[in-house]
Amino acid sequence: MSLISTVTAARTEAAEQRRLDADAEVERQARAAQLALEVEAAKRESARQDRVAAEQARAEQDAAKAARKAAGKTRQAAAWQVRVATARKVGEGALWIGPILAPMAVAWVGQVQFAMGVLGWPVWAALVFAAAFELTTAYVARLDFLARHDGDSGTVFRAATWLFALIAAAMNYAHAAGPGMAPTGAAVAYGLMSLTGIALWELLSLYRHRKHLRDTGLRPAPLPRFGLARWTNFPAITWMARRLAIRDGHATVEAAWQAATAYWTDRAAAKATGMNAKTIAANTPPAKPVKVRTTAANGDGISEPDPRPVSAPPLPGGRANAAKDVAKVAAAHPDWKPAQIAAKLRLSERTVRRYMPGAAVEVAA
């Protein structure tokens, strides 16, 4: 019996061990499958991160490329603006200097012909002579401009400039003039070219000098222009706006116009106030003492002044028929108040109340 129990126990133990081994194998396979899944998920996440990193790198490269392209366009635009500004400056300089250099060049030719034809000098010497004389004139003109720019008087330099210009014009005229210094086309043309160049330089110098004075505050700004319509329709206001622009420095038309309008409004109000004061003074009679008869204690009659104000004839310059006008309007409009009658007759309300029907009775009462 013990042998059977032993065998049964051994078999049971072997079966339990096999079951345990099977469970262990199942668990091992499950762990292996879970590990495989985790490894696969890690691979997919790593691949995703690699793709994101690659996309970010491409985006950064594209952004850097776009930034380089925009910077290149900005540099090109800036360079183009610099070239345009330089070309504009050169063009403006040519516009200023070209009209001056052109007549001076013609005068230079005239000086060369004078040196060769009158003085008998060779070409190279004639060129030196013309350059010396024309450049001397330009040098003195430049000194005149610098002197006025520094605030100094340029009268001496301007006189010297025109002296050299007149000498050059005389030489150019002389060598091309006819017999007896008779005028010819060439003589007049060469002489005028010598004077034209200096005249243009004087105008340019004057313009720059005035601009310098205006920029530094030594010369007032240009006055606003009001136009023909304002001068024609509102001459008084326009004239006052111009005067106020000169006095107060209004730089715009609207500012000067508003100041002039305010001036005329204030003046009209002051004038109306003065007229009202004069009207009141003219229509207000002065107090006149009136003697009344009183009886003394002894029965004798004594005349004493009455302190009550009484009506008196209007003063010179006043309205003589004010009482009649007031009575007439009051009769025509019995429901009107004194203020309305005063407005219609352009009198003071105090005067109307004095001349209203029944006023004497009220005063007496």
pLDDT recorded at residue 283: 56
Report pLDDT digits (tens) over 258-267: 999 998 888 8
Helices 338-345 and 322-332: angle between axes, nearest 10 degrees: 120
Contacts of residue 327, defined as CB under 8 A and 6 or more positions apart, other chains included, come to 355, 357
Mean predicted confidence (pLDDT) in 168-172: 85
Taking CA atoms, 231 is separated from 10, 183, 227, 246, in Å, by: 136, 49, 7, 17
> In which band, very low, low, confident or very high, does the pLDDT at 278 lie, cut at 50, 70 and 90?
low
Mean pLDDT of the residues in the chain: 78
- Tell the burial category of 359 from Cβ atoms under 10 Å away from its Cβ (0-12, 13-18, 19+): middle
pLDDT reading at 362 higher than 60: no
Least confident window among 49-63, 102-116, 179-193, 343-357: 343-357
pLDDT recorded at residue 332: 80
- Of 329, 292, 327, the closest CA to residue 308 belongs to 292
pLDDT reading at 287 higher than 90: no
pLDDT recorded at residue 150: 80
Q: How far apart (Å, rounded) are the C-alpha atoms in residues 279 and 273?
A: 10
Pair 298, 275: CB distance under 8 Å: no
Mean predicted confidence (pLDDT) in 76-96: 81
pLDDT recorded at residue 149: 78
> In which band, very low, low, confident or very high, does the pLDDT at 119 lie, cut at 50, 70 and 90?
confident
pLDDT reading at 315 higher than 50: no
pLDDT recorded at residue 233: 92
In this prediction, what percent of the chain has a pLDDT beyond 90?
6
> In which band, very low, low, confident or very high, does the pLDDT at 282 lie, cut at 50, 70 and 90?
low
pLDDT recorded at residue 172: 83
- Tell the burial category of 14 from Cβ atoms under 10 Å away from its Cβ (0-12, 13-18, 19+): exposed
pLDDT reading at 345 higher than 70: yes
pLDDT recorded at residue 306: 46
pLDDT recorded at residue 297: 46
Report pLDDT digits (tens) over 101-117: 788 888 888 888 888 88
- Tell the burial category of 347 from Cβ atoms under 10 Å away from its Cβ (0-12, 13-18, 19+): buried
- Of 105, 99, 161, 107, the closest CA to residue 136 belongs to 161
Phi, psi (5° rounding) for residue 292?
-120, 155
3-state secondary structure string across the chain: CHHHHHHHHHHHHHHHHHHHHHHHHHHHHHHHHHHHHHHHHHHHHHHHHHHHHHHHHHHHHHHHHHHHHHHHHHHHHHHHHHHHHHHHHHHHHHHHHHHHHHHHHHHHHHHHHHHHHCCCCCHHHHHHHHHHHHHHHHHHHHHHHHHHHCCCCCHHHHHHHHHHHHHHHHHHHHHHCCHHHCCCHHHHHHHHHHHHHHHHHHHHHHHHHHHHHHHCCCCCCCCCCCHHHHHHHCHHHHHHHHHHHHHHCCCCHHHHHHHHHHHHHHHHHHHHHHHHHHHHHHHCCCCCCEEEEEECCCCCEEEEEECCCCCCCCCCCCCCCHHHHHHHHHHHCCCCCHHHHHHHHCCCHHHHHHHCCCHHHHHHC
Mean predicted confidence (pLDDT) in 301-316: 45
pLDDT reading at 164 higher than 80: yes
Residue 3 or residue 159, greater confidence: 159
Mean predicted confidence (pLDDT) in 177-184: 81
> In which band, very low, low, confident or very high, does the pLDDT at 239 lie, cut at 50, 70 and 90?
very high
> In which band, very low, low, confident or very high, does the pLDDT at 186 lie, cut at 50, 70 and 90?
confident
- Tell the burial category of 72 from Cβ atoms under 10 Å away from its Cβ (0-12, 13-18, 19+): exposed
pLDDT recorded at residue 136: 84
pLDDT reading at 304 higher than 60: no
